Amino acid sequence: MMARKMSGRSCVVLLAGLTCSCARVDHTAEFRQAAEQMKTASGLETPWGDGGEPQDLTLDDGDVLPLDRAVVLTLRNNRSLRADMEMIASAKADLVQAGLLSNPMLSVMARLPEGGGRASLDFGLSKDIADLWLIPSRKRAAQRMLQRTILSFTDSAVALVNEVKTTYYTVGYQTTAIELQNRNIRVLRETVELAQARFRAGDTSQLDVNLTRSRLIEAQLELLALQTEYGTSQRTLLRMMGVAAFPGEWRFQPIEPPSLTVAEDESIVENTALERRLDVQAAWWEVESAAADVEQQRLRLFPSLGLGISASRFERRATPGRKLLADTARASVANGALTAPEIQSRADRRRERSREIDAILGPSIEVPLPIFDQNQAQVAKAQAKARELKQRYEEVQQRVVEGVRTALYTYRLAQERVRMFKESLLPQQEANLRFAEKSYQAGQETILTVLLAQEALIRSQLSAAAAERDLAVSSANLERQLAGQIPDFLLQSAETASPSAPPEGVEKKNDN
DSSP 489: G
A 10 A CB-CB count for 59 gives 15
Name the burial class of residue 45, with classes exposed (0-12), middle (13-18) and buried (19+) by CB atoms within 10 angstroms of its CB. Answer: exposed
More confident residue, 15 or 374: 374
- Look up the pTM and report it: 0.77
Q: Which long-range contacts (CB under 8 A, 24 or more apart) does 215-224 make?
A: 215/188, 215/191, 215/455, 216/185, 216/188, 216/189, 216/191, 216/192, 219/181, 219/184, 219/185, 219/188, 220/185, 222/181, 223/178, 223/181, 223/182, 223/185
Task: Say what the pLDDT of residue 1 is.
Answer: 38
Domains of the chain, earliest start first: 63-98+143-304+392-491 (1.20.1600.10), 319-348 (no CATH)
DSSP 43: -
Whether residue 72 has pLDDT greater than 60: yes
Task: Say what the pLDDT of residue 287 is.
Answer: 94
Q: What is the mean pLDDT of residues 268-284?
A: 91
Strands 251-252 and 64-65, sheet pairing: parallel
The answer to whether 119 and 98 are in contact (CB under 8 A) is no
More confident residue, 388 or 5: 388
The C-alpha angle 9, 14, 20, rounded to 5 degrees, equals: 125
Task: Say what the pLDDT of residue 344 is.
Answer: 62
Alpha-carbon span 92 to 95, nearest angstrom: 5
Torsion region of 225: left, alpha or beta (phi above 0 gives left; psi -120 to 50 gives alpha): alpha
Whether residue 27 has pLDDT greater than 90: no
Q: Which long-range contacts (CB under 8 A, 24 or more apart) does 423-430 make?
A: 425/460, 425/463, 425/464, 426/457, 426/460, 426/461, 426/464, 429/453, 429/456, 429/457, 429/460, 430/457
Nearest one of 282, 293, 285 to 383, comparing CA atoms = 293
Query: pLDDT tens-digit profile of 112-140?
Result: 777 667 778 888 888 888 888 889 999 99
Q: In a 3-state reduction of DSSP, which class is residue 23?
A: coil
* pLDDT over 90, % of the chain: 41
Query: pLDDT tens-digit profile of 201-258?
Result: 887 788 878 888 998 999 999 999 999 999 999 999 999 999 999 887 788 877 777 7
